[in-house]
Amino acid sequence: MTGFGQETGSINGKKIIIEVRTLNSKTLDANLRLSSKFRDLEPEIRNMLGSIIDRGKVDLYMTIESESDFSDYKVNRNLAKHYLDQLQLLATEVGLPLSADSLSSILRLPDVVTQSVNEMSDEDKQLIMRMFETALQKVDVFRIFEGAVLEKDFRQRISTIMELLKETKPFENKRIEDIRQRLRSDLTQIEQRIQIDNNRFEQEIIYYLEKIDFTEEKLRLEKHCLDFLRTITDNVSQGRKLGFLAQEIGREINTLGSKAYNADIQKIVVEMKNELEKVKEQLLNIL
């Protein structure tokens, strides 16, 4: 499920921005891009992330306006003076003047300038963790809102499938009579050559109609639809179960279509399939 959350704050006067973006995924796949100064917080951040977001592809970014204040640069004066004395001796020996930019060259020599990273205080780390928590909670609120919109859409489409199922009722008796007439017409074409036992014919009709009866499919389809509507009200993640129920709904609709033998019922089945396909598409966006 898509989501977005952002939180900003400051440490030592430097602006820090934390962004979290999520997409749907079968598992929790977290990609954290943290500043090197806060890498030791990664295990805690991952634990927090897992407690708030059940599953999904998560990209978490941490941006610092300027990281210079988190580092301390020091010049080794004794070593720099030693390099300068050596350069002056060399310049005297070869008879060349010492250039004005010699100092900048010396500063680039090994170990003249060293950088040390300032340790973050516990207070600063706690502030960072609170920022991460706030950003993740904003993502969760975003996803809850999107889930409410999807739930409304699911209810409407599953209810439409159930209403369409009721619309098959007027055509069921006509369907049986059409089948009877079609078989009788086929037999009429050959009855001049063979003798037809009307009693046996009626027995075969009954047997045939029993094979194409879809009463059970209609009952199961209605039950799966009701189960789907009940499941989306659960407070826990039910994405996998909803996917399974959608698959079962599709199975019953397909069987209904294969047993229809009626153009009007086939049209209704096509409308059911269209609604179900839209449900399946949206199921990819939920947990």
**Residues 216 and 255 sit within 8 Å (Cβ to Cβ):** no
Domain assignment present for residue 259? The answer is yes
Q: Mark whether 39 and 63 lie in a shared domain.
A: yes
Q: Could you tell me if 22 and 107 lie in one domain?
A: no
Q: Is residue 154 part of a domain?
A: no
Residue 107: inside a domain: yes
Do residues 134 and 7 both lie within one domain? yes
Torsion 179-180-183-189 (CA) sign: negative
Q: Model-level pTM?
A: 0.63
Structural domain contains residue 158: no
Q: Is residue 177 part of a domain?
A: yes
Same domain, 14 and 134: yes
Specify the pLDDT at position 221: 95
Q: CA-CA distance, 221 to 85, in Å (whole number)?
A: 92
**pLDDT of 250:** 95
Which domain, by its residues, includes 10?
Answer: 3-68+130-138
Residue 179: inside a domain, yes or no?
yes
Among the candidates 97, 119, 138, a domain finishes at 138
Residue 155 inside a domain? The answer is no
CA count, 13 A, side-chain hemisphere, 178: 11
Query: What whole-number distance in Å separates Cα of residue 87 and Cα of residue 215?
Result: 100
Is the same domain home to 276 and 176? yes
57 and 90 belong to one structural domain:
no
Shared domain check, 82 and 64: no
Tell me: do 223 and 176 sit in the same domain.
Answer: yes
pLDDT at 189: 65
Residues 97 and 187 in one domain: no
Total number of domains constituting the chain: 3
Do 99 and 212 have their domain in common? no
Residues 81 and 50 in one domain: no
Burial class (CB in 10 A: 0-12, 13-18, 19+), 51: exposed
- Strands 14-23, 3-11: pairing is antiparallel
CB 218 within 8 A of CB 268: no
Could you tell me which residues are beta bridge partners of residue 10? Answer: 15
pLDDT in tens, the chain (287 residues): 688 999 998 887 778 899 999 987 778 889 999 877 788 889 999 999 988 888 788 999 998 876 554 455 677 788 888 888 888 888 887 777 777 677 778 877 877 776 555 566 788 888 889 999 999 999 989 888 888 888 999 999 999 999 999 999 888 877 777 777 777 676 666 665 566 666 766 666 666 666 777 888 999 999 999 999 999 888 776 778 898 999 999 999 999 988 888 889 999 999 999 999 999 988 877 76
**Is 23 contained in some domain?**
yes
Tracing tokens 């229809």 back to the chain, one arrives at 260
Residues 102 and 31 in one domain: no
